[in-house]
Amino acid sequence: MTTRRMGLNAVIFGLGSHEAGWRMPESDPLSSTNLEYWIDIARRAEAGGFDALFLGDVLALQQSADLHLSDALDPIVILSALAAVTKRIGLIGTASTSFDHPYHLARRFASLDHISRGRAGWNIVTSSNALEAQNFGLDVMPEHDQRYARAVDVVEATLALWNSWDEDARIVDKQAGRYLDPAKVRTVNHDGPFIRTRGPLNVPRSPQGRPLLAQAGSSEAGRDFAARYADLVFIVQSSLPEAQEFYADMKARAVRLGRSPESLRVFPGIVPIAAATHEAAEARLAQMNRFMIIEHVLAKLSEFLGTDLSSADLDAPLPAHVGSGAPNQSSQSRVAVLVGIARREQLTLRQLLSRLASGRGHLLAVGTGPAIAARMQEWCEVGAADGFNVMAPVMPQDLQSFINLVMPHLNISVGNKP
């Protein structure tokens, strides 16, 4: 075994990863617009030994707005506030390459990196939702490959802007009246297929040089993109063989591009429901699932799979034809994962819906602290993970249960960067 440490990010999307989490007795759904809610989570995660907070984002109020909590404050606003009240924990926020300009992206994340003294991260997404497109003046999202082509251009321009200042550009010679060394701050004149920007950035080089870059695409274009740019890849694969395949593939791609395999870390998402006994953990999951609104999750699954499942038998397996049609291209690889789960585990449609509701198809780990820890340890030892994006189903309860019950059994040095 090598001495590498398991990385742990606390993923936060609204009140937790479970669709119905807001209906749990202990949940306060109105709290997600209060800063106190975020400060409480950040402090728990920091004290509990997480490396970073990881904020997902979607640029639209999602369809079933009458049923589901999908409103969310801007991640950069939340993370900037949290920078002021935390000391050590990383602050990773999602922003889309499809709807923002590199000058803004480069500047915001560099600013966050400055005020947090080097704790900023950007989770790069291309967006895939038609509602997002319509909020930004398009009728539909551009095709998958077109979105990635723009993403490459946006990231290249953003990197160039971050590199437009040398670390020692601010000479601050009061006597001579020279604030900058002009040789160390350069225009970038990026002129790509989608993006033009002159530069330089109007923010000095940030403490990390550039923020950490995270990415989650698992399509061919997504893997290529991640191998080129990402420090951290967030994967949805929830079976050990699939995760091992993805892990090996990403490391190989990185090496082919001249990167060290360690420079690209692979983090599966894990939805932990930890309790003192296995039965208590299962009971907690069952409670959440009772609050799930079947029609709502079914509509989401139908959209994912590109197949109307509204009249399917909930207690039979996923119909055989599902997954063979022309799925929504934007979530093709997510479809393969979900269909794979259903077939492999011989789930009924109702069971698949529960899996989708609890954490969007990510690894669901229900049990005692030692059992969940052992599973995570195994994934790290057999080449399936360098760490995990921990998606607590209900905040802050399941995050705290993870800290109290799972963390003590993990073979990591809590409080240190992996």
Q: Which residues are annotated as a binding site for FMN?
A: 57, 94, 144, 148, 218-219
Interaction between residue 294 and a copy of itself (CB under 8 A): no
Strands 212-215 and 196-197: unpaired
Q: Under rule CB under 8 A, which residues in 123-162 are in contact with a copy of itself?
A: 131, 134-137
What is the token pair recorded at 361? 């198809």
Q: Is residue 179 at the binding interface for a copy of itself, with CB under 8 A as the rule?
A: yes
CB 178 to a copy of itself: min, Å: 6
* 71 touches a copy of itself (CB under 8 A): yes
3-class secondary-structure state, position 150: helix
| Interatomic CA distance for residues 215 and 235, integer angstroms | 9
Residues binding a copy of itself: number (CB under 8 A):
75
In the complex, what is the shortest distance from the CB of residue 156 to a copy of itself, in angstroms, rounded to a whole number?
Answer: 14
Options 10, 72, 338, 356; binder of a copy of itself; rule CB under 8 A? 72
Residue 61 within binding range of a copy of itself, rule CB under 8 A: yes
Nearer to a copy of itself, 31 or 302 (CB): 31
> Where in 26-55 is the site for a copy of itself (CB under 8 A)?
27, 29-30, 33-35, 38-39
Q: How far is the CB of 349 from a copy of itself (least distance, A)?
A: 20
Q: What is the DSSP string of 311-373?
A: TS-TTSBPPTTTTTS---GGGHHHHHHHHHHHHHTT-BHHHHHHHHHHHTTSEEEEE-HHHHH
Vertex 150, ends 187 and 71: CA angle to 5°? 105
Distance CA 270, CA 103 (A): 34
Among 8, 11, 12, 22, binds a copy of itself (CB under 8 A): 22
- Token reading at 89: 């924990």
Of 179 and 278, which has the nearer Cβ to a copy of itself? 179
Asked if residue 178 binds a copy of itself (CB under 8 A), the reply is yes
What's the N-to-C CA distance of the chain in angstroms? 15
Minimal distance in Å, beta carbon 109 to a copy of itself?
A: 9
Interacting residues with a copy of itself between 317 and 376 (CB under 8 A): none
Task: Pick between residue 149 and residue 339 the one whose CB is nearest to a copy of itself.
Answer: 149
Residues 81-120 that bind a copy of itself (CB under 8 A): 81-85, 99-101, 103-104, 107-108, 111-112, 114-117
- Residue 80 interacts with a copy of itself (CB under 8 A)? yes
Q: Which residues contact 160 (CB under 8 A, 6 or more apart)?
A: 188, 190, 197, 199
Restricting to residues 195-214, name those near a copy of itself by CB under 8 A. Answer: 195-204
- Nearer CB in complex with a copy of itself: 83/226: 83
Which amino acid, 38?
W
Per the CB < 8 A criterion, the answer to whether 195 and 207 are in contact is no
Sequence-distant (≥ 6) Cβ neighbours of residue 241 within 8 angstroms: none
